[in-house]
Amino acid sequence: MRPDGYALLYSIDTTFTVNPSLYKTLPFDLEKDFATISVPVTYGQMLAVHPSVPVSSVAELVALARQRRLNYASGGSGSPSHLSGALFLATAGIDMTHVPYKGTGQSVIDVVAGQVQTIFAVTTGVLPHVRAGKLRALGMSSTQRSPLAPEVPTIAESGFADFQALFAYALMAPAGTPADIVSALNRETQRALALPDIQEKNREFDYAAPTLDPRQSASWLRDSRERWGAIIRRAGITAN
């Protein structure tokens, strides 16, 4: 297939940032097989606990984890919720039992039911339960507070200044796509992201639009791959 800008891939960033460290072999090479067009949106996750957990802040959760064994749910080994949890444990210098599920949906359900105590999950997945009093939100993994829940502090401002767990989507083209076409597609992506209806949709999903050009987008993916790779190796995370 000729790389002419008509065959594109829109994918969650973990395909390129996390999977290279989870799997021994992959059927592609990010640097050789793809031209990065854009990282159009990024998103963080919300740290929440079941109301039976006697804490109301990140600091109190850390203190409790040092007193007794706690557990945390995730959408599976190597999932964003697992990676956020592993990074949090390493940053805070604590340990919890990881309870992986086959998907984030069931993991949230079991935390709401009190079968597991804590979870990192996308804001839209846990915020309705927080509003209903079925979960308690403690912090955000992003560097900025969520517009959907501005009362919830970031983990970085809760005493762990270096903490950041961001994920994204990536718009890619086949390697060899002419640079002018890549640049044009990036400009059109930015134009679309500036539309009021798209901005509202991003707000509803708690997505941030970082406005990155192709070079910056490729650098974002490369830096994230290196960062998550180090975390995966340190935590000994493997794919299911």
Domain boundaries, the chain: 9-43+166-234, 46-158
Which secondary-structure segment (H or E) carries 38? strand 34-38
Average per-residue pLDDT for the chain: 95
Question: Do the first three CATH levels of 9-43+166-234 and 46-158 match, i.e. the same topology?
Answer: yes
Are 8 and 225 in contact by the 8 Å Cβ rule? The answer is no
Q: Among 35, 2, 11, 1, which Cα is nearest to 182's?
A: 35
Long-range contacts at 213-219 (CB < 8 A, ≥ 24 apart): 213/183, 213/186, 214/35, 214/36, 214/37, 214/38, 214/182, 214/183, 214/186, 216/39, 217/36, 217/37, 217/38, 217/39, 217/170, 217/186, 218/36
Quick one: pLDDT at residue 31? Answer: 81
Return d(Cα 197, Cα 229) in angstroms, integer. 36
* Average pLDDT rounded to a whole number, residues 89-107: 95
* Average pLDDT rounded to a whole number, residues 185-212: 97
Running DSSP on this structure, what letter comes out for residue 80?
Answer: H
Query: 211 pLDDT exceeds 90?
Result: yes
Are 75 and 107 in contact by the 8 Å Cβ rule? The answer is yes
Mind listing the pLDDT tens digit for each residue in 33-80? 999 999 999 999 999 999 999 999 999 999 999 999 999 999 999 999
What tokens were used for 157? 């401002």
Q: Please count the helices (runs of H) and the strands (runs of E) in the chain.
A: 10, 9
Query: 239 pLDDT exceeds 80?
Result: no
Neighbours of 166 (CB within 10 A): 19
* Average pLDDT rounded to a whole number, residues 200-224: 96
Neighbours of 26 (CB within 10 A): 13
* Average pLDDT rounded to a whole number, residues 214-235: 95
Query: 177 pLDDT exceeds 90?
Result: yes
Mind listing the pLDDT tens digit for each residue in 130-159? 999 999 999 999 999 999 999 999 999 999
What tokens were used for 173? 């083209």
Mind listing the pLDDT tens digit for each residue in 15-24? 999 999 998 8
Query: 240 pLDDT exceeds 70?
Result: no
Running DSSP on this structure, what letter comes out for residue 156?
Answer: G
Q: Using a pLDDT cut of 90, give the percent of the chain over it.
A: 90
Quick one: pLDDT at residue 1? Answer: 65
Partnered with residue 17 across adjacent β-strands are none
* Average pLDDT rounded to a whole number, residues 98-113: 95
Quick one: pLDDT at residue 128? Answer: 97
Angle at 80 between CA 88 and CA 75, to 5 degrees: 105
Running DSSP on this structure, what letter comes out for residue 219?
Answer: H
* Average pLDDT rounded to a whole number, residues 180-194: 97
CATH superfamily of 9-43+166-234: Bordetella uptake gene, domain 1 (3.40.190.150)
Amino acid at position 68, single letter = R
Mind listing the pLDDT tens digit for each residue in 2-43? 788 899 999 999 999 999 999 888 888 888 899 999 999 999
- What's the CATH architecture for 46-158? 3-Layer(aba) Sandwich (3.40)
Length of the chain, in residues: 240
Taking CA atoms, 142 is separated from 18, 44, 118, 210, in Å, by 18, 5, 18, 13
Return d(Cα 19, Cα 13) in angstroms, integer. 9
Residues 6+ apart with CB under 8 A from 217: 36, 37, 38, 39, 170, 186
